[in-house]
Structure formats: C-alpha cells, structure tokens
Structure 1
C-alpha cells in the first residue's frame, strides 16, 4: 500500500495528492503554486503525474514538476486538448497564458496505471469536462474522484466542455460500483462512496435532459469547482 500525502493549493483550494511506494511517487492534480509543489516534492522520486481533468486549478504546476523530475504526464484522452486550450482549461478567465507542454499518456476507461506494487484503474466520468476521469484502487478501496464527486455534492457542468447528460451517466456509473470506497476528491474533505450513493442516484435522475428543468430545488449544490 502506498503512502498518501496531500496538500491544498490555489485560490480554489484544490487537493493535490502524492502517492508514494517502493516504485516512486505519482502526483494527482498539481493545480497551482508550482514553486511550493517543487519544494514539497523535492525529496520524492516523482515518476508520474495524473490529471483527473483539464481545468486550470488541477494542471497549473505540471510543466514545472516535469522539468524538476522528468516524469510522465497522463490525463483522460478527451481532455488532452483541453490542457492546451486556454478556454477549456479556464486559464483565459484567470488571465494566464499557461498550457501543459505535453501529455504522454492519454487515458481511457479500463486503463491501468501501475507503479511499484500498486495499481489504479481508470474510469471515464465525463460531465464536469469531456474527458474527466476517476481513479479506483480496488485493492485498497480508494477512489480519487477529482471534480466529479465531493462530500455532499457533485461537480459543476456549466463550464466549457461540461455536459449535464454526461454527468448523469457518470453519477449512475459510480452509484453502481459494488464496493464501498474511501473517496478522496479534488476539493473539500474525504468521504465514502456509501455516504454519497443517495445523491449520486438523485443526480443521475434529475440531470437527465428532459428532467433537469423540473428540478431546481438543489441547483445550488452545483456551485463547487
């Protein structure tokens, strides 16, 4: 089992994770504060970076960490273009000209990331972005959910590339996972899949195109990053 270290970065309070075992360290969502993350990881053997999606608050320190560690970069195949598109990443809104120089490993459903004795399975969970992914460690019952699922709510779908119907399908997919998982999200506190099953089932229903206009009572829950 790898060691999990985490730190909160950026004005958006993004959770950045470092997963370390005998094979090195994988960084999940290095979103901002590049110099700080370089210092935070200086004693780690960083072998790879995994991005759950292409938004600026999850990719903003990638190039600097690659320059420091010479590691590979992976993200969902449908979000590779977004890492180089200022509009899709949201860097245009921030007034920052930042693109990820290179993605080495475009990921898709069923791909497995292996390092040391551990493995993470890729699950396509579009909706927040077109290529959003979650990472499941079935052996240790952990889900890295990015901005798809939070404690008590789900990710927004009103950014460029967001899609309510796709989010509905992703909610249904996670609701059907037959294993209780510890959920480590992109923002906010950890939770469990069991604790979030009811809301996933709810959103899978109300985000369907023909029903979404009828359900506004909980629309405020879509306001997290």
Structure 2
C-alpha cells in the first residue's frame, strides 16, 4: 500500500529536502505540494491524501488553521505538523486541534519516515524530543507546574487495568494498533477495543493526547 502525502511548507528548500527524504521510501508518494496554508487546504481537498505534512508557520493561513480545516473537510486525511524547538506553544495548540503527529524539522530522516508510516497506519506519532518539550510547555502553563501534571497523569492512569496501561505505554511510544498487537500477542481488533476504552477512560480526544498522558505518567521511558 502506497502512502499518499501532501507536503506544505513556505520554504522551497525545506520542501525539497523533505520530499527527497520521503522519496527514498517506495511506500511513500508525495502527490501534492503547497507553499502556504490556503494552498494546503485546497490541495488536500483536491487530492485527498492519506497524510498532510504541514509546517506550522506559513503565510495566508498558518499550519494550525490549515490542519484544523483539513481535519474538518477531509477527515480521512491525518495531519502531521513539522515543528522547531521554538514553537512549543503552537504544538500544544495543534494537539488540541486533532493533529496526529509532531516531527522536528531537524530530526533524524528515519524518524520522519517512521512517523508518517505510523500515522498512516492509524497511530499517533510524537517525537520523544518533542514530547518532552510539549510536556514542559504544558507544565509551565499550569499553576503547579510539571510535577503536578505528572501527579495528575499518574492518577488518571490508575483507572486503567494493567493491560490497558501496557497498551497506553505503547501508544505513547508511537506504535500502531498492528504493532501493539504483535508486541503483546493480541488480535488487532482487541487492541482497537483497548485503545477506544483508554481514550474514554482518560477523557482525551485522540491518541496524541493519550500519548502525552503516557509520557507525563512515566509510562514511556525512552
């Protein structure tokens, strides 16, 4: 199965670099490119890719707004945000808008490919370095700081069964349902049921938010 990708970044050199990385994998096909957020939305609606890779800062419409509009009008397209360390607050906002993945522009090329494949397979993908920064940003915005968020997350996961916590840890590590099923020797349908129950019990919107809880609760160690 070929993963059809939309790539949006206002810097032509960045687009060329990311396109070259993705082009090194036969399972990925960049079907459209865009230089701003509005073009990205229009391209997503026209091509209906499996994954839209969006820079956060773009003219006319930024990546956050474009991602939210793509999720609204093309729900079958997952959204992955390309970020830098200077954009922590934007990442937290995108998290609430339903983005499925967050990758560093300066990260390992292999991580970019792995992240896209995970998202296309229905998983969330949160670069470990980004996860640490997002957690720090979220903690800085709360009264008790990171320690209080960690305590709250640990309390949240207490409602989960041991198996559900095990599944949540693997969600936090960026594994897809199929990968979790293989790791835990379960049927994929059973994993889907576990993930659905976990989202409900944790009162989170999506797998990325669940992954953040997993990190904050200390379930993901890498």
* TM-score over 0.5 (shorter chain): no
Between Structure 1 and Structure 2, which shows a larger proportion of helix residues? 2
Q: TM-score, normalised by structure 1?
A: 0.31
